[in-house]
């Protein structure tokens, strides 16, 4: 990557990190991305799925490659101490989406500057609201694939706390499906000194939380993977008042649809049974508020991308991270387009932290000790993360684009 481009991308990254925006509010980020793509000669469409941006660079006949980056930040108060830390109170790019946007814009610049070396169409998608697993669906519903050529492949990456200069790629199930649930338990409120006159939803909720822990431990095979997390329990307003309701917010991660159905059925069974056992005056309410399918990397396409990534970082630095229980909605774009998907991890952690950790288990141990995505202290190192992220997207795209020698699609 040319030094001038590297410096510009560093400035873009720091600007985005300083000015994070929550889901479906990414207006400044979208404007920055749209202006960058227009300057490169892309045909740009804005406001797709609310704040999404799509840039199309047609360069003769050949395959169409969709490169995707998400834009939204999280409601987290930053604690990195960086000189370019967030200036938005209580909002932070704690998941690295600023890095994703930066790398995509860099890849767009490299591809635009090398149009004499390839043919086909590059589609750059800046997607909103990944953190709500709603942005991809919003863009599709808003007619994304009526506005652009349907891609022959969908490509993307996610920065992670593995060493910068490495990438993680796994064919098949790569990221878990996600379901977010809101459970409302109803009781009968009253004075804290007279619990016998009430049906206490706090006790009901506590019993429910503990019972839910048995789903994975006792109802899911050790050969399968599932995660059930109660991330919030909200009830009451004062120590001597028993409230009339309690709310649980749950996160469920699975890879297999049968396991997913079993987990969701178990949650409903347990919630209703605990309410009945507590003498609840009415049935609990169970809502699925967010949902996205598992990210499934097409095996054949993943092998092509593995070769491309090896050319960027070396074969020994293309790691298999195993199934990731985090979730992504990028698969919605691929499914709607009827195209194969390849989505990989981009190393963003300081390589010096992994000195001497050559064994995969030791690498995993070190990674687990570092601030990770969604932490208020999470901050990828700028380099070589940006340069590798740009090169990875470019190399992956060139595996499909025509005029790329042996890599071109027949």
Any binding-site annotation on 97? yes
Give the whole-angstrom CA distance, residue 339 versus residue 82. 40
At residue 131, does pLDDT exceed 70? yes
Any binding-site annotation on 95? yes
Catalytic residue among 70, 72, 152, 256: 72
**This prediction's pTM:** 0.91
Fold entry, domain 3-171+298-407? Aminopeptidase (3.40.630)
At residue 109, does pLDDT exceed 70? yes
Query: Which CATH code fits 177-292?
Result: 3.30.70.360
Among this protein's residues, is 72 annotated catalytic? yes
Any binding-site annotation on 191? no
In percent, the amount of the chain with pLDDT more than 90 equals 92
Among this protein's residues, is 130 annotated catalytic? yes
Catalytic residue among 130, 152, 274, 298: 130
Q: How much is the pLDDT for 9?
A: 98
Give me the residue label for tokens 């652009």.
Answer: 148
Residue 49: left if φ>0, alpha if ψ -120 to 50, beta else—which one?
left
At residue 225, does pLDDT exceed 60? yes
Tokens of 87: 């200036």
Q: Which of 3-12, 154-163, 318-327, 352-361 has the lowest mean pLDDT?
A: 352-361
Q: Are strands 43-48 and 241-242 parallel, antiparallel or unpaired?
A: unpaired
Give the residue among 260, 239, 112 at the shortest CA–CA distance from 177: 260
The mean pLDDT value for 340-344 works out to: 98
Separation in Å, CA 286 to CA 152, 205, 269, 283, 311: 39, 13, 11, 9, 49
Could you tell me the residue ranges of all domains in the chain? 3-171+298-407, 177-292
Q: What angle do CA 70, 300, 304 make, to 5 degrees?
A: 70
The mean pLDDT value for 358-364 works out to: 77
3-state secondary structure of 249: strand
* Torsion over CA: 102, 315, 66, 410 (sign): positive
Give the whole-angstrom CA distance, residue 51 versus residue 91. 18
What confidence tens digit (pLDDT) does each residue in 28-58 have?
A: 999 999 999 999 999 999 999 999 999 999 9
At residue 409, does pLDDT exceed 50? no
The mean pLDDT value for 136-147 works out to: 97
Give the whole-angstrom CA distance, residue 385 versus residue 103. 9
What confidence tens digit (pLDDT) does each residue in 247-270 have?
A: 999 999 999 999 999 999 999 999
């Amino acid at each position: 990557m040319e030094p001038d481009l590297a410096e510009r991308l560093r400035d873009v990254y720091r600007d985005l990190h300083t000015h994070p925006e929550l889901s479906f509010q990414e207006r400044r980020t979208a404007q920055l991305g749209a202006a960058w793509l227009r300057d490169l000669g892309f045909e740009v469409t804005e406001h797709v799925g609310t704040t999404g941006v799509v840039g199309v660079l047609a360069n003769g006949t050949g395959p169409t490659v969709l490169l995707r980056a998400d834009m939204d930040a999280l409601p987290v108060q930053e604690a990195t101490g960086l000189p370019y830390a967030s200036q938005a109170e209580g909002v932070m790019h704690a998941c690295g989406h600023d890095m994703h946007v930066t790398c995509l814009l860099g890849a767009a610049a490299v591809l635009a500057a090398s149009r004499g070396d390839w043919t086909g169409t590059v589609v750059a998608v800046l997607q909103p609201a990944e953190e709500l697993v709603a942005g991809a669906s919003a863009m599709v519903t808003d007619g994304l694939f009526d506005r652009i050529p349907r891609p022959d492949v969908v490509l993307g990456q996610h920065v992670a706390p593995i060493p910068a200069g490495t990438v993680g790629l796994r064919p098949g199930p790569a990221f878990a499906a996600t379901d977010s649930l809101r459970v409302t338990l109803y009781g009968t409120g009253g004075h804290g000194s007279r619990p016998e006159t009430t049906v206490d939803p706090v006790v009901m909720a506590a019993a429910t939380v503990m019972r839910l822990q048995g789903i994975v431990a006792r109802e899911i095979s050790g050969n399968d993977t599932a995660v059930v997390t109660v991330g919030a329990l909200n009830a009451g307003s004062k120590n001597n008042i028993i409230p009339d309701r309690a709310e649980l917010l749950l996160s469920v991660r699975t890879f297999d649809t049968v396991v997913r159905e079993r987990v969701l059925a178990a949650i409903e069974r347990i919630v209703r049974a605990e309410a009945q056992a507590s003498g609840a005056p009415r049935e609990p309410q169970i809502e699925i508020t967010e949902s996205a399918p598992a990210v499934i990397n097409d095996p054949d396409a993943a092998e092509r991308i593995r070769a491309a990534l090896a050319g960027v970082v070396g074969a020994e630095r293309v790691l298999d991270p195993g199934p990731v229980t985090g979730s992504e909605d990028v698969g919605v774009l691929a499914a709607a387009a009827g195209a194969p998907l390849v989505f990989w991890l981009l190393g963003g952690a300081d390589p010096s932290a992994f000195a001497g950790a050559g064994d995969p288990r030791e690498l995993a141990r070190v990674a687990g000790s570092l601030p990770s995505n969604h932490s208020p202290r999470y901050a990828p190192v700028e380099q070589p993360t940006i340069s590798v992220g740009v090169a990875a997207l470019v190399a992956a795209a060139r595996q499909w684009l025509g005029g790329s020698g042996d890599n071109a699609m027949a």
